[in-house]
Structure 1
């Protein structure tokens, strides 16, 4: 990591309306304003069932993500975003670490995501593997990526 390590960043599971609004502000800035994703695609029918994350630096929201169940063993990571001026500081990695920890704590064995192809090298560095062919989502090229999660403990009963 670079000079701005995870200790500069406060990654939280969203528990209040204010935190959710902060997460949405980051997502809108990145996806709607910067990447021209339509608003109705950015906020979808999965908001209520998702666990949302917001990352603060010095009290300001700078990153966000959400996590939801894909199936009994796999959680899907979505809407991973870091404001443009804070990229390259290790914040995306810190957010993903927290998201993965929550997924593991909830009993999931794997996480999957649809990475924008330009961001795939970021996920490569986090030990995600590409699955299948490139596809388009919201007019942006994506690739499915997956990662096996480390178990928080040994087999049940230990």
Structure 2
């Protein structure tokens, strides 16, 4: 398993968009364009990859000078419970600190709906 930075032109980034949509927005019937908020293009994107396959993803955004938000974290359902979310969170936190963060917060749901 390796953690890699994703660019918006990467195929794995496109897979991450699909995973985000499927896990966060498809069930409530929201349009796919919801993925592209004001922070998407300027954010730092990281993925956990195993043998070229996307396993998990997270996004780091600078909301204002020295204030960073971690969001859109997803782990493939068949890969959950293996510490991938913690690895992504740790990597994004370190990245924010390297960028001079004075405040970092996680935007996350308190509950995850189960099928």
Q: How does 1:59-78 map to 2 (within 5 A)?
A: 59-78=52-71
Q: How does 1:78-89 map to 2 (within 5 A)?
A: 78-89=71-82
Q: Deviations over 1:57-99 (max 9, x none)?
A: 2221011111111222210111000011111110000111111
Identify unmatched segments of 5+ residues in structure 1: 1-8, 120-139, 141-158
- TM-score by length of structure 2 reads 0.83
Corresponding position of 1:102: 95
Greater length-normalized contact order (CA 8 Å, ≥ 6 residues apart): 2
How big is the alpha-carbon RMSD for the aligned residues of Structure 1 and Structure 2? 2.0
Q: 1:29 offset after TM fit, Å?
A: 2.8
Give the Cα separation in 2 of the matches to 1:14 and 1:66.
Answer: 10
Give the Cα separation in 2 of the matches to 1:73 and 1:114.
Answer: 16
Q: Say if 2:6 and 2:12, in contact at 8 Å, map to a contact too.
A: yes
- TM-score by length of structure 1 reads 0.62
Q: Deviations over 1:99-138 (max 9, x none)?
A: 111111111122112220126xxxxxxxxxxxxxxxxxxx
Is 1:14 aligned with 2:6? yes
Q: 1:37 offset after TM fit, Å?
A: 5.9
- Which of 48, 65, 83 pairs up with 2:41? 48
